A and B are shown apart, each in its own frame.
Chain A
């Protein structure tokens, strides 16, 4: 419960991003290199030009530890890091949750169909999932991102523009399908031979109806357990892609892009990279602990684990 509480706290904080930005009077997406703020009655530039020695370089404002006034300092565009952290968290959470929904829908559908119908259908679907699984997950995600990042995706009437947040959602959602489909297929295979399903088949109940009414309810527990675990995994993937400039595109923020921005300030303003790093770590840990707890609570005998082991 503590993990859930921490995660919900992060969610609510991120949802308050627009309110925080309005309250602080900052636009986290616009460069404000010549902005000046007031601290203790004194005007302080957001970007400070070095005046000593050779006069080389600019240093962004460090953390003021005052909410609403560059609490975590400024980044190299003079933007409020705290406001960007909240907006970035919002995007990271949105992408990871939307990708989780997509993964669960596609993975469940594939697992149900492959496990229930068996035969050629199972062979084709399973081999396709094997092929998808054969690629190192980050390599596949990076490859898909690089291909789509410049031009977007256009399939028939559906067009997703290159800067859209839907791009990382779709890419992350697809690459993790085998992680969900495999265990679901295994469960469906077992359920397919259970007495109540055999009875329904013998009574002439149509396959789709059996899947919907008899099998799906019996795998719901597994799916529920998958939600937080997949979200954690998706959040990590989204951050990695955004860090590599192939996820969320600037000036939008995600925790990954803020870490990337902070990389150029590691020496002078390490908090710009550390803060989103800590946020990711805490969120992922909270989701994982919550996921494990949920699994134990719903089905103590379950062996659902993410990964290939």
Chain B
């Protein structure tokens, strides 16, 4: 692991030289102006240790820093982890359980205070003190986390996160080797905040930041203003580059239709929400130069409840997987440019992904066509024909249309199906709770970080299934002891041999796909519609568009 980290550091240093020269030139030419962003609504608390939304994770990128960070680079380069608050990548002990970080000197928060070891230690304690949403998962492996999870207010992470003021180092000890620990440290939930930050959700009050920008005004009903952090001095272009615009104005409240029109008129530069489907043709023809389409490591899928009839029967589940025409779903999403049919869990180009599709007319690597005859045969064999099935979808135009289509498919293979659209604010928790007896639903999963476990283990691991809980992200309730053991084996193997682990994940992917605990629908792509004046658009595979790296003048 040590060798790997050293090689990664050397490669990134080489790349850094050419990047910096170009960046400096562009900075001179394009620095300044106000970047105007739009979103239909705000996305909740400003607390980076608590907020778990893609919308604000994107916002937090130029604001906050962790010990390490995902590289602020275009495309899949954004999956690389680089040192951020830490001077360099950590020294890792031979047993893979101790990570030592040397803290950079001279980094200041936007309130002028210098960042030190105590802030790092306090920030890790705060993750537990505010009961961060991933404190029990991502960071549960830190020594002392169990006590912190049991008694949040007195959390010290004793023996887990140890600061050495004199040496300027922080050592993190984990209970067992974790190949994904650095990914977890690079998440916004582990950013470093001032030690005196309140140990409760700060809500709409911005916390001083270390990044190139700070939030100067925020009203969740109106908008957010980000200005340059007066105490920021760029220390790593890869981790926290200086931004082009002087001010970023993020306004809330416009519908997607209105946002598209505002960008067309040059009144705004970008919209967070996806453009409505009825505007896509227009954007794809009249505004081609302003549209950016980027692949996502994400998954649209239809979880089938493996503990409820009719989908407690494997043949019934496979029947649905055979019957669904992925091309139709892709069309409902906006056409083949915006999505690709899939049969398996892991998205294309993801660690562990090997093309596999058993549920198609000609089983093999890729999906070709729905096989309705096979589906009807499986329904007959399963003895579930005529049973009632309800599909729960989000009440949004795309989800509703997918739900209506799935209802048609279920009816055509012999079920009595209906579809229920429920509010997008409720649907995700509703379908997770077993008390609601959801048989089938439509959902999406976007990676937290680029690891196969983030799809397979999270969505189909036995530990992710909690009966009667709103937080049971294994919506299918799928638990196969054999597959689960294999997943744990792959995670352990990843510590020493990631390639071998990825091979094992490929096997797990196939096995989970064969069991049809969920119907894979399609891999979506992301549409960014930007203003004519906006330049230097960079789409980061991890946190999407890096908005402060775009210029408006």
Contact = CB atoms under 8 A, between A and B. Distances in A.
A187 interface: no
Interface stretch (B98-106, B221-229, B330-338, B358-366): B330-338
Contact of B405 (A33, A162, A249): A33
Interface stretch (B36-44, B281-289, B459-467, B482-490): B281-289
B296 to A, nearest CB: 16
A247 to B, nearest CB: 11
A302 interface: no
Contact of B278 (A33, A47, A49, A266): A266
Contacts of A249: 418-421
Contact of B335 (A34, A49, A149, A163): A49
A267 B278 contact: yes
A33 B331 contact: yes
Contacts of A59: 281
A217 interface: no
A263 B397 contact: yes
Contacts of A162: 390, 420
A115 to B, nearest CB: 42
Given A57-B284, A58-B277, A251 B335 contact: no
A253 to B, nearest CB: 11
B284 A150 contact: no
Contacts of B335: 49-50, 55-58
A267 B421 contact: no
B404 A54 contact: no
Contacts of A245: 395, 400, 421-422
Contacts, number: 122
B408 interface: yes
B420 A57 contact: no
A266 B257 contact: yes
B389 to A, nearest CB: 12
Interface size class of A (residues with CB under 8 A): 20 to 34
Contacts of B411: 30
B284 A54 contact: yes
B407 interface: yes
B276 A264 contact: yes
Interface in B254-299: 257, 276-286, 288, 291, 293
A57 B332 contact: no
A154 B436 CA distance: 15
A53 interface: yes
A53 B285 contact: yes
Given A58-B334, A150-B420, A77 B404 contact: yes
B401 interface: yes
Contacts of B395: 245
Interface string A232-245: 00000000000001
Given A31-B405, A76-B401, A150-B422, A58 B331 contact: yes
B280 A56 contact: yes
A250 B400 contact: yes
A143 interface: no
Given A50-B335, A76-B401, A163 B418 contact: yes
Contact of A50 (B284, B403, B420): B284
A268 interface: yes
A33 B407 contact: no
Given A30-B411, A56-B284, A251-B408, A267 B334 contact: no
Nearest to B282: A267
Contacts of B279: 57, 267
Interface string B105-138: 0000000000000000000000000000000000
A140 B108 CA distance: 53
Interface on chain B toward A: helix, strand, loop, or mixed SS? helix
Interface residues of B, number: 43
A33 B419 contact: no
B529 to A, nearest CB: 10
A76 B281 CA distance: 14
A52 interface: yes
B45 interface: no
A265 B405 contact: no
A76 B277 contact: yes
A56 B283 contact: yes
A264 B277 contact: yes
Nearest to B333: A58
Nearest to A264: B397
B496 interface: no
Contacts of A264: 276-278, 397, 401
A163 B407 CA distance: 13
B307 interface: no
Contacts of A76: 277, 332, 397, 401
A268 B338 contact: no
B434 to A, nearest CB: 14
Contact of B334 (A29, A52, A56, A269): A56
A120 to B, nearest CB: 42
A77 B288 CA distance: 26
B328 interface: yes
B284 A250 contact: no
Contacts of B276: 264, 267
A273 to B, nearest CB: 11
B405 A54 contact: no
Contacts of B419: 249-251
A76 to B, nearest CB: 5
A47 B420 contact: no
Most buried by B among A30, A77, A267, A269: A267
A56 B285 CA distance: 8
20 contacts: A33-B331, A33-B405, A34-B328, A50-B280, A50-B285, A55-B336, A56-B338, A57-B277, A58-B332, A76-B332, A150-B430, A163-B390, A163-B420, A245-B400, A245-B422, A250-B407, A250-B418, A264-B397, A267-B279, A268-B278
Given A57-B283, A268-B281, 10 more contacts: A31-B404, A33-B332, A34-B328, A56-B337, A149-B420, A150-B430, A249-B419, A249-B421, A250-B403, A251-B404
